């Protein structure tokens, strides 16, 4: 998504260190490898071990680039980079999930494909969507649907789920989607907006809860602040950090965190308003339609031998 715009903002140079927080299928990382070659480093990170290997294969074709791979949350990545003695020139977090994850029915991420109600991006994490749906008290379930799905019918849906689970397990994506559709018979779109599947917001909410997506994002944003404030942290002076968000619950904390860092003189905002996809990309790639790209550049501090001096 938005490759030209991302790399214009990240301004990679040969020999640079590029950190991909969400390597996925390696699309962005392979383009970054071309730009940091020769002599540069590409750091790959993903929660999903399968995607990490796919991205590694995409990048390792560039022989003149050093590749390091970490499996885990990007919230923990800055600490691991510091341990490894790596400092970033450019960082990208392309949030959410990849097409192969949604298309794989066995992961339970899609209401369009019947599969187990799982939704974990990291299969070793403890809680599945089925466990949430089967065990959470009704009020907590409604709260998750409202907060993470912005679902206005959250209480009705939670009540229906709790009534249905008394009769037996809700263990498939098809069963859950059917329940939600039976509550929102009139369709899931908002008045005046495009019509969407009624299950869309419920699935988004559960996916965010199962994967603690906003918690990981907060941890990452706190690390960006910390890195920008420190002379010897994981971000070099002048490092650029870009985030691609796909819904307002992700974009809002990014916008607020970047604004607050700018206010405190730690970064310069490279995007006052989010960059969005061109008409052409929106037409050819549905995922690009909701993408919002924001980026900052850390301000070099005096006394940092590794960075430029500004001001």
Ligand X SMILES: C[S@@+](CC[C@H](N)C(=O)[O-])C[C@H]1O[C@@H](n2cnc3c(N)ncnc32)[C@H](O)[C@@H]1O
Closest CA to 70 of 58, 80, 79: 80
**Does residue 223 bind ligand X (CB under 6 A)?**
no
Rounded to an integer, what is the distance from CA 82 to the centroid of its chain? 22
**Does residue 73 bind ligand X (CB under 6 A)?**
yes
Number of CB atoms found within 10 A of residue 139's CB:
11
- Cβ proximity to ligand X: between 14 and 123 the closer is 123
Residues binding ligand X: what is the number (CB under 6 A)?
Answer: 19
* Single residue of 16, 40, 78, 96 touching ligand X by CB under 6 A: 96
Residue 234 · residue 223 · CB < 8 Å:
yes
Number of CB atoms found within 10 A of residue 135's CB:
11
**Does residue 253 bind ligand X (CB under 6 A)?**
no
- Cβ proximity to ligand X: between 36 and 237 the closer is 36
Alpha-carbon torsion angle 142, 147, 152, 157, nearest 10: -30
In angstroms, what is the minimal distance from the CB of 28 to ligand X? 4
* Single residue of 2, 33, 35, 46 touching ligand X by CB under 6 A: 46
**What residues have CB less than 8 Å from 146, skipping those under 6 apart?**
152, 154, 205
**Does residue 18 bind ligand X (CB under 6 A)?**
no
Distance CA 311, CA 297 (A): 14
* Single residue of 9, 41, 42, 51 touching ligand X by CB under 6 A: 51
* Single residue of 5, 48, 89, 130 touching ligand X by CB under 6 A: 48
Which residues are at the interface with ligand X (CB under 6 A)?
Answer: 22, 24-28, 45-48, 51, 73-74, 94, 96-98, 121, 216
């Amino acid at each position: 998504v938005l490759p030209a715009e991302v790399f214009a903002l990240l301004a990679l140079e040969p020999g640079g260190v590029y950190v991909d927080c969400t390597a996925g299928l390696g699309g962005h990382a392979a383009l970054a490898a071309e730009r940091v070659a020769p002599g540069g480093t590409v750091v790959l990170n993903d929660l999903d071990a399968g995607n990490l290997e796919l991205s590694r294969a995409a990048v390792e074709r560039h022989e003149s680039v050093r590749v390091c791979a970490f499996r885990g949350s990007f919230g923990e990545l800055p600490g691991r980079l510091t341990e490894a003695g790596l400092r970033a020139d450019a960082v990208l977090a392309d949030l959410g999930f990849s097409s192969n994850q949604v298309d794989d029915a066995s992961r339970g991420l899609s209401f369009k494909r019947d599969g187990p109600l799982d939704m974990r991006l990291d299969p070793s994490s403890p809680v599945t969507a089925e466990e949430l749906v089967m065990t959470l008290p009704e009020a907590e379930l409604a709260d998750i649907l409202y907060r993470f799905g912005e679902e206005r019918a959250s209480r009705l849906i939670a009540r229906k789920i709790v009534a249905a689970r008394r009769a037996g397990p809700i263990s498939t994506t098809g069963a859950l989607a059917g329940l939600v559709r039976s509550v929102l018979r009139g369709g899931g779109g908002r008045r005046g907006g495009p019509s969407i599947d009624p299950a869309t917001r419920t699935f988004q909410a559960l996916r965010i809860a199962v994967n603690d997506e906003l918690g990981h994002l907060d941890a990452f944003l706190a690390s960006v602040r910390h890195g920008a404030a420190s002379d010897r942290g994981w971000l070099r002076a002048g490092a650029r950090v870009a985030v691609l968000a796909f819904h307002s619950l992700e974009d809002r904390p990014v916008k607020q965190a970047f604004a607050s860092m700018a206010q405190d003189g730690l970064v310069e905002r490279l995007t006052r308003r989010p960059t969005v996809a061109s008409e052409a990309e929106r037409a050819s790639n549905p995922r690009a339609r909701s993408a919002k790209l924001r980026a900052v550049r850390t301000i070099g501090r005096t006394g940092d031998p590794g960075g430029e001096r500004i001001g």
